[in-house]
Structure 1
Amino acid sequence: MKILQLISFFFFMIPFTAFSTKREQAPNVIIFLADDAGYADFGFMGSKDLKTPNIDRIAEQGVHFTDFHVTGSVCAPSRAGLMTGRYQHRFGAEFNYSSKEEGVPTSEIMLSEFLKEHGYKTAAYGKWHLGEIPEYHPNKRGFDEFYGFLGGHRKYFADEKDDNPERNTAMQHNGEYITFDGYLTDELGNSASDFITANKENPFFIYLAYNAVHTPMQATEEDMALFEGHPRQILAAMTWALDRSIGNVMQTLKDEGIDDNTIVIFLSDNGGPTGQNMSSNLPLKGTKGTEFEGGHRVACAMRWNGKIEAGSKFEKLTSAFDLFPTIAEAAGINTEPKNKLDGVALQPYLSGENTSAPHDKLFWRITPWAAARFGEMKVVRADTFGIGLYNLRKDIGEVENLATEKPEELAKIKSELVNWENQMAEPFGKRSPDWEEVKGYMYSDYLNNDTIRFYTPYQLKAYRKTLLNKK
């Protein structure tokens, strides 16, 4: 009788155990990465003129980071830091790539590779910009699925020139060049939704790297009509499409019943290039490509229902390279990647278990300019153009240069910056001399307390002309 009871108990427990395993499945993860979005251009960041209800909902249902930074102020370096969980300077990826042979070395372990190794299904959609040669291809860097383009930007509609397979702008699916219909921002979201439906029974990681709102400035006629008369009409329409695409992906999570077991993260790859796409980084100084706050402090929100307090704010110093260890810990992965991460898992800080800041110092460099953050103080070093010291708690706009007033503090942070630089690798690639000259003059003006804000491409073009006439 006891044997029969044990057999009955064993068979009774089988479906219960299977059900429990499914309920305790590692969380799915989606990173929504915007391109060149302004710090102030989302509702949860205070925007009144750009409409982003779906992105705002991520912040409303989770945490909104107020002092969150990417590791690079331009596209490719920022993405390299995000995907490796390390300062990209450690492996030389300091600039946007100047040749097809450059990219994130295969000696670096990407988040996608790490998660795939631990049972995740993985997909990347949109802009890659982390290397073009075969060994750098997304399908060789841990992604089961890739639908997107390898370069830094392209048009939002099918285009004969951009869709030439000889160009890094051509759309491809797992290495095969394809054409597409419709508006690319919507296409990328639809593809992600299809992947969710096909892989809902498995833990999955989706890296949805939109090219919106990077130039060229293109929107559908329908979206443009919604914002007729808007002073930033094209940007408003493109941002609306970005928000719609994200909303559709989020709805798919609900429809498939996996919303509560999915971590959703939204951020931009760097600050907005105001003069190119009319984005706004206010009240921050600087734009994409500078080491002022407007270059690397970005809007970021993360939601994980039941795990992160809804509507919370996290105001301590945080970096995009923290996402790698945060996701790994959430996935229950106890092994460490072979390369030591610079980021830290954020769970103890978000829960209040650890009341200190994830970081007391962070560094940035895009030679010849660099910056170092120590607590509330920040140094911006512009080499021959000067140096600035700012108290960000009192002066988030980096207006009052305290370099002369606090020489000892300046010297201490400068020394720490140099020590950090000595640990980094020699960068590969190079920068455009013309771009460098114009940005250099901008640094000089900014360091001299100038608070110029560019709002239209025409204003920037006029300013560039003025700068180059200073020679």
Structure 2
Amino acid sequence: MKNSVYSKLIIIGLILVGLVGCSRSTSSHASRQTDPPNIIVILADDAGYVDFGFMASQDLETPRIDQLAADGVIFTDAHVSASVCAPSRAGLITGRYQQRFGHECNGIPADDGLRPSVPTIGKHLQQQGYRTMALGKWHLGLGDAYHPNVRGFDDFYGFLSGSRSYFPNENQDQEGKPTAILHNREHVQFEGYLTDVLGDRAVQFIDQQQNKPFFMYLAFNAVHTPMHAKEEHLEKYRDHPRQKLAAMTWSMDENIGKVIDKLKSEGLYENTLIFFLSDNGGAYNNQSSSGPLKGWKGNKFEGGHRVPFTVTWPRRVKGGQTFDQLTSALDIFATSVQAAGIDPNTTETDGVDLLPYLNGERQGAPHDWLFWRKGKMAAVRKAEWKLIRLEDYGYRVYDLEANLGETENLTIENPQMKVELQSGLESWEKELEAPRWLEGDVWPQVTYEIHQALMENREPNYTNPGAMRRFKGQ
């Protein structure tokens, strides 16, 4: 699907950041042409679709991420498999629709998590001889059976829960709390600003690698709430209308720059496959922007699951490209295992290897269909066509080629397309496992109201539990 106007804006952004060739150092780390690539997944948290320079942001500064994007491929129609944190991460890290193993919702119980029998990208790469590390936010289970060290990661530095303070916090940093920082299984304290700490740890990990390829899953908690930023960055953006988000985004950009600089200084950048994306759309409460898209984190409109997404591998993929075809974060798994030389017949994935599409060996879209479901809300994409279903309410059909903002309902004008999309969604659902947990009673009510409001092209009556209670006079 082509979004020509928006693609032109992104191309202009590429020109502005400059298609600068990467420096090539000749340190002892420098790799031969036939060596398997290092692989890095850089995951932002709750970032808006247009909140980066390479996505045509006019007010947020991200020069290092922009250059990374300019060195690779920018995807304009890329999607995560869920519009909230935990299930999206479950899909990304396993390469499978997380609903296939019941990981459909947020709010993971304390005694559950990412099913141990489902292998992760870390496990496959670990078995292939890669040194593996997970950094930052885990949010895939609290118990021993779900800990990163037993899910394919040799090293872990981060926290197990879904969010925490960016600064040391006496309450959250108590030993045994899921918000506390762990180095592998050891409780540790940290100093400073957590985004900086994660960047420094990433650089340290790269420095420790010698003769083995590595895989790094660098999951920043930025720019998820709470909206904490360093004082010097708040001062830098003193008069900015989105001051805290601008400051937090700048800090994340700085630390991604640290990682890129380290790769270049060690002669590793050319042969490192780097993915950058957000785990879902921007949140309603973190000043983020979805630009031309409708919706935000937590709903099935494009602003909930279409995300900024780039792939960079200077040795194998020509930079300066944009790719407008339907793509999924599930493809990270498939692309990585193929690049690492793993027999695809030994893995199970709903993703597609993107490299043939980026190198001109294949044409068209990696996916004909993509699907989403969480609780009473579900959606399906087939090329430019989109259907959203709200249980006990109804359906909406949109032609995204003509109406990217999802405002014109075509269920009556195109009943055949509604039937085709509905049938595709229901066929996919027959392959799924029932959700292993739900999200309680409150948030599903809020999310239902948001979906109904957006389907009716109106503002929601409430967007959080407190506002719902006030609206209902409770």
Q: TM-score, normalised by structure 1?
A: 0.91
How many angstroms does 1:369 deviate by?
Answer: 0.1
8 Å contact 2:31–2:268 — kept in the other structure? Answer: no
Residue 270 (structure 2) pairs with residue 267 (structure 1): no
Give, in whole Å, the separation in 2 of the partners of 1:462 and 1:48. Answer: 33
Alignment of 1:316-355 (within 5 A): 316-338=325-347, 340-355=348-363
Residue 64 of structure 1: aligned partner: 74
How many angstroms does 1:334 deviate by?
Answer: 2.1
Give, in whole Å, the separation in 2 of the partners of 1:238 and 1:143. Answer: 27
Which of 360, 375, 387 is equivalent to 1:367?
375
Residue 402 (structure 2) pairs with residue 390 (structure 1): no
How many angstroms does 1:402 deviate by?
Answer: 0.7
Give, in whole Å, the separation in 2 of the partners of 1:465 and 1:103. Answer: 29
Residue 471 of structure 2: aligned partner: 468
Residue 284 of structure 1: aligned partner: 293
2:218 aligned partner, one-letter code: L
8 Å contact 1:382–1:443 — kept in the other structure? Answer: yes
Which of 35, 40, 43 is equivalent to 1:30?
40
Residue 430 of structure 1: aligned partner: 438
Give secondary structure in 2 for the equivalent of 1:123.
Answer: strand
8 Å contact 1:200–1:256 — kept in the other structure? Answer: no
8 Å contact 1:81–1:88 — kept in the other structure? Answer: yes
Structure 2: gaps spanning 5 or more residues: 1-27
Structure showing greater radius of gyration is 1
8 Å contact 1:62–1:305 — kept in the other structure? Answer: yes
How many angstroms does 1:74 deviate by?
Answer: 0.4
Give, in whole Å, the separation in 2 of the partners of 1:268 and 1:21. Answer: 29
How large is the RMSD of aligned CA atoms in angstroms? 2.1
Residue 175 of structure 1: aligned partner: 185
Give, in whole Å, the separation in 1 of the partners of 2:182 and 2:203. Answer: 18
Identity %: 47
Residue 9 of structure 1: aligned partner: none
- Say if 1:136 and 1:462 are closer, same or farther in 2 by CA, change over 3 A: closer
Give, in whole Å, the separation in 2 of the partners of 1:164 and 1:462. Answer: 28
- Say if 1:465 and 1:427 are closer, same or farther in 2 by CA, change over 3 A: closer
Residue 149 of structure 1: aligned partner: 159
8 Å contact 2:443–2:464 — kept in the other structure? Answer: no
How many angstroms does 1:251 deviate by?
Answer: 0.4
Give secondary structure in 1 for the equivalent of 2:122.
Answer: helix
Q: Give the number of the structure whose residues are more often helix, by fraction.
A: 1
Alignment of 1:196-345 (within 5 A): 196-274=206-284, 276-338=285-347, 340-345=348-353
- Say if 1:461 and 1:95 are closer, same or farther in 2 by CA, change over 3 A: closer
Give, in whole Å, the separation in 1 of the partners of 2:259 and 2:278. Answer: 18
Structure 1: gaps spanning 5 or more residues: 1-17
Residue 8 of structure 1: aligned partner: none
- Say if 1:192 and 1:410 are closer, same or farther in 2 by CA, change over 3 A: same
Residue 203 (structure 2) pairs with residue 193 (structure 1): yes
Between stretches 199-208 and 188-197, larger displacement belongs to 199-208
How many angstroms does 1:200 deviate by?
Answer: 4.0
How many angstroms does 1:25 deviate by?
Answer: 1.7
8 Å contact 1:386–1:447 — kept in the other structure? Answer: no
Give, in whole Å, the separation in 2 of the partners of 1:283 and 1:200. Answer: 45
- Say if 1:334 and 1:36 are closer, same or farther in 2 by CA, change over 3 A: same
Give secondary structure in 1 for the equivalent of 2:335.
Answer: helix
Give, in whole Å, the separation in 1 of the partners of 2:365 and 2:457. Answer: 29
2:425 aligned partner, one-letter code: L
How many angstroms does 1:466 deviate by?
Answer: 9.2
Q: TM-score, normalised by structure 2?
A: 0.91
Give, in whole Å, the separation in 2 of the partners of 1:157 and 1:326. Answer: 35
- Say if 1:352 and 1:453 are closer, same or farther in 2 by CA, change over 3 A: farther
8 Å contact 2:446–2:463 — kept in the other structure? Answer: no
